[in-house]
Amino acid sequence: MSLISLLSRSNSRLLLVFLHKSPISVNLLETKVVLNSLQYSKTTSGMKSVYVTRPDVASIGIDLLKKECDVSSWSQAVPVPRDELLRQVVGKDAIYCALTDKIDSEIIERAGPQLKCIATISVGYEHIDVAECKKRGIRVGYTPDVLTDATAELTVALLLATSRRLFEANKEVYNGGWKSWAPDWMCGQGLKGARVGLFGFGRIGQEIAARLVPFKPSKLTYTARTERTTEAVKLNAERVSFDEMLCESDFIVACCALTPETKEIFNTDAFKKMKSNAIFINSARGGVVDQTALCAALKDKRILGAGLDVTTPEPLPLDDPLLKLDNVVILPHIGSADVNTRIEMSRITALNILAGLKGEKMVAEVSI
């Protein structure tokens, strides 16, 4: 065993002095070993180390982690830069991340073999390389149930804002367009008597449907991989094919997961099949839509309007052509932006990490 390795095991302060004073040339590999040894100093003393990629998550989660772990985090309320993330994950036992963080094989490799779990404060986990996690035996936690109601509420609000042209009307108040009452001015499309199609009928889809029932649509339909008979009966919803939903719905709501099968499923062909009065709502993931095709459909009035809480990329560039259209409402991905929901998401993310580090059952774990 080298002198440097011995020093790193016995006294980290002495090691730093040695490295600073010694004329000995240390090769790159041994330098990495030394730095990792220093990084692990807290872990070897009994505390697990956790890196949190944002400082602005609800404090309840961070406080839970600090009781049992050595916690460090990015210092600014913006996504952590890639190079900073690569530096900070070294030697960590767990990573607390968000949708804005790409946790790929490079990040996982850089963290090291002691990395036991990754938990994201989101229901989506496409930003995490789950295949790499599976290969390395790393557990992945997420927050699927807690944001269901908040996302369903926001989706219905977005649908109404789009169909009843609330943002267009609001602008007219401020720009002088509001002159007097007119019989056809700012008229939108109502839900009563309309046919609503839901693409996806999981927890969020079902809660959206439940909130739409009081508006008295003529029919609720859904398209999903599996039959949801019990849930559908309660809501008087009918399962239909994707093409039937596209062709017959007045409102189409995307509330599905982003998978290889659903990626850009709403494309040029899909928009061509929709009714000319159709309103398309997306609170799922931006990736389920071909945005170029959507923009063309809106611009050419092939569909009546669209409401988006998710886009690709996020945020949208200010020169994106969608932002030049009047018949689209775009929100900055705020589906779960309810105060109590975000607090609970932070708590569950922390509990997932603590469970993962202890080898216990997580509150919500991705099946990989």
How far is Cα 280 from Cα 275, in angstroms, rounded to an integer? Answer: 10
Catalytic residue among 54, 285, 333, 342: 333
333 noted as active-site residue: yes
Mind giving me the DSSP string for 292-336?
A: HHHHHHHHTTSSSEEEES--SSSSPPTT-GGGG-SSEEE--S-TT
Identify which of 299, 296, 302, 255 has the alpha carbon closest to the alpha carbon of residue 274: 302
How far is Cα 333 from Cα 323, in angstroms, rounded to an integer? Answer: 15
How far is Cα 309 from Cα 289, in angstroms, rounded to an integer? Answer: 12
Is there a cis peptide before residue 81, judged by omega within 30 degrees of 0?
no
Give the contacts of 197 (CB within 8 A, at least 6 positions apart): 221, 222, 223, 240, 245, 246, 248, 249, 251, 252, 253
Give 79's DSSP letter: P
Tokens 């030697």 found at: 91
Identify which of 239, 231, 303, 317 has the alpha carbon closest to the alpha carbon of residue 274: 303
Give the contacts of 154 (CB within 8 A, at least 6 positions apart): 283, 309, 331, 334, 335, 336, 337
Cα pseudo-dihedral 180, 186, 191, 194, rounded to 10:
120
How far is Cα 122 from Cα 218, in angstroms, rounded to an integer? Answer: 34
For residues 322 and 290, the answer to whether their CB atoms sit within 8 Å is no
Residues marked as catalytic: 333
